[in-house]
Amino acid sequence: MLMDFLLFIMTIMLSVAFFTILERKLLSSLQIRIGPNKVGMMGLAQPFSDAIKLFIKEQLLFKFMNLLFYKMSSMMMLILALLIWLYYPKYIWTSLDSSSFMMIICIISFGVYPLLIMGISSNSKYSMLGSMRSVAQTISYEINFILVILIYLYMNNKFLFESFVFFPLMMISFPLTVIFMISMLAELNRTPFDLTEGESELVSGFNTEYMAGMFIFIFIAEYTMIISLSMMFTVIFMINMNYLINLLQVNLIMLTVIWIRGTLPRVRYDILMNLAWKSFLSISIIFIMYSYMLPSFMYLLG
């Protein structure tokens, strides 16, 4: 049991490490510059050297901080990111729980609390503003994110992962696919929705006062969530024939997230919020009505 747990943690850590080096390599190619290429063969050991550097750096704790919540919030963020993996199936046709999708939704919803606690416990203006902005953005897009998932759950009449294996609706409901992808980027605070970490406005946002080991927890949690939600996108919207094809599709979504970061500019905050409440919410409600009325309409025809 202990060995399985350690293997589980090591697998996620290695996935995050190699995903970061992949992102840095692709961004350097998109920006026509040389990426990391000194540490190890072709720079593949760069994430490990960065992790060692951060762990051995001094952790500064200031008197004005609430130290208990300051330390607890970053760990809580990492724990929530790892908890999601417990409800993913080991294989695409098996599930660990009878309501695995609902548990994942609950865990994602709890993700706003560490962000809020970080801003309050740091007792910094930049951290507080970044935290408030992050919570507002996350809650706004979380509504559309969950509504899209619930539409598919209703269409499947199940809350299991395996119920989506032969029920991909990416081409039938393309607007929902776009809404889910954009909401996913907003949930992850990724470009073009990385307004919570706007360097010119908020220094580094809610994690301004975090450094050394505490910053590693936040960093790993964010990249773990990218991999997790990419897997969720693949399970819901794409055809899952076997494990290898599913893995290639997950990597394609992760590459898309990196490509968007390297090409699109940051949007204004008012545009971001209007998009969530005025456009996406209306489309999601229309699709909910459609998914509810379609079975009755088909019953009358048949």
Q: Check the CA dihedral 212-199-12-39 and report its sign.
A: negative
Which pLDDT belongs to residue 96?
Answer: 43
The per-residue pLDDT for 90 is: 54
DSSP 205: G
Is the four-CA dihedral 175, 84, 136, 199 of positive or negative sign?
Answer: negative
141-195 residue pLDDT tens: 988 888 888 887 777 665 455 444 445 555 557 888 889 999 999 888 888 888 7
The pLDDT assigned to 260 comes to 92
pLDDT higher than 80, residue 2: no
Q: Tell me the one-letter amino acid at 300.
A: L
Q: Is the pLDDT of residue 92 over 50?
A: no
223-256 as b/e, with b when 16 or more CB fall inside 10 Å? bbbbbbbbbbbbbbbbebeeeeebeebbeebbee
pLDDT at 86 over 70: yes
* Sign of the dihedral defined by the CA atoms of residues 128, 190, 231, 99, in that order: positive
- Residue 175 in tokens: 């607007």
Spatial CA neighbour of 148 closest among 286, 272, 246:
286
Distance between CA 191 and CA 189 in Å, rounded? Answer: 7
Average pLDDT on 35-48 reads 83
Cβ pair 35, 24 in contact under 8 A: yes
Contact 9, 81 (CB under 8 A): no
Higher pLDDT, 155 or 11: 11
Percentage of the chain modeled with pLDDT above 90: 7
Indicate the average pLDDT of the chain.
80
pTM to 2 decimals?
Answer: 0.86
Q: From CA 192, how far away is CA 266, in angstroms rounded?
A: 4
Give yes or no for a contact between 115 and 134, defined as CB atoms under 8 angstroms apart: yes
Cis previous bond, 295, omega within 30: no
Rounded Cα–Cα distance for residues 78 and 9 (Å):
11
Cα 217 to Cα 51, 80, 147, 232: the distances in Å are 11, 11, 29, 22
HSE of 260 in the Cβ direction (CA atoms, 13 Å)?
A: 20
* Per-residue pLDDT at 118: 87
Q: What share of the chain is helix, strand, coil (3-state, %, to 5)?
A: 75, 0, 25
With beta carbons less than 8 A apart as the criterion, state whether 191 and 109 touch: no
Average pLDDT over residues 242-261: 87
Scored b (16 or more CB within 10 A) or e, 64-99 reads ebeeeebbbbbebbbebbbbbbebbbeebeebeeee
Helix boundaries (H) for 91-203: 100-109, 112-122, 125-156, 174-187, 199-202
Which 3 state secondary structure label does DSSP give 87?
Answer: coil
Does the pLDDT at position 295 exceed 70?
no
Task: Please give the pLDDT value at position 199.
Answer: 64
Residue 91 in this model has a pLDDT that exceeds 60: no
Q: Measured between alpha carbons, how far is 86 from 181 in angstroms, rounded to an integer?
A: 23
